[in-house]
């Protein structure tokens, strides 16, 4: 499988899984009325509508902010999609696909509902992590993939060597 196809597969799977979990939990269960649902001593399912970005930053109450965040997500998805198309490494392409799929999943929520539906709450003792969804987890995994790709010897070699067919610059 080519790097682009691997990235496209990651993108589509992320988007489908994200939307399926959100739609299934919100419309297919009574989670809204009976929350929280305890999954484990450290994990609950809850309903949180995030009108901002990661960690609830930049909360947008008005329509303008909502649509600016949708537009920003789409512009980022297009730019990262172009990068994914040009990626020579499967890891890089899959990482970008995860990020684009997550960005599109959250943009769909924001466009359809005015906010992103988050539902996984991790906690332990007095510690509480923010509430997130599949798209958020995919974006985090994608960023980790970008970091790992940037640290790989093949990636560093490709960035420092001149392109094939181009002679090294002469001074």
Q: What is the predicted pLDDT for the residue at 69?
A: 87
For 98-124, how does the pLDDT look when each residue is reduced to its tens digit (9 = 90+)?
A: 999 999 999 999 999 999 999 999 999
Burial class (CB in 10 A: 0-12, 13-18, 19+), 125: exposed
Task: Compute how many other C-beta atoms are within 10 angstroms of the C-beta atom of residue 51.
Answer: 18
Global confidence as pTM: 0.85
d(C-alpha 86, C-alpha 98), whole Å: 16
List of residues 6+ apart from 41 with CB closer than 8 A: 124
List, by residue number, the catalytic residues: 118, 136
Is pLDDT above 80 for 53? no
């Amino acid at each position: 499988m080519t790097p682009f196809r691997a990235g496209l597969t990651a993108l589509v799977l992320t988007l489908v899984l994200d939307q399926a979990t959100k739609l299934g939990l919100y419309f297919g269960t009574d989670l809204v009325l009976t929350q929280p649902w305890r999954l484990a001593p450290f994990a609950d399912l809850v309903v949180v509508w995030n009108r901002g970005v990661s960690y609830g930053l930049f909360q947008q109450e008005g329509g303008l902010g909502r649509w600016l965040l949708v537009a920003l997500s789409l512009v980022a998805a297009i730019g990262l999609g172009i990068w994914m198309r040009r990626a020579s490494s499967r890891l890089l392409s899959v990482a970008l696909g995860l990020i684009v799929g997550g960005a599109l999943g959250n943009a769909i929520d924001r466009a359809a509902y005015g906010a992103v539906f988050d539902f996984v709450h991790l906690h332990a003792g007095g510690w509480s992590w923010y509430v997130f969804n599949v798209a958020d987890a995919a974006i985090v995994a994608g960023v980790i993939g970008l970091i790992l790709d940037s640290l790989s010897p093949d990636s560093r070699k490709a960035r420092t060597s001149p392109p094939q067919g181009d002679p090294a610059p002469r001074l």
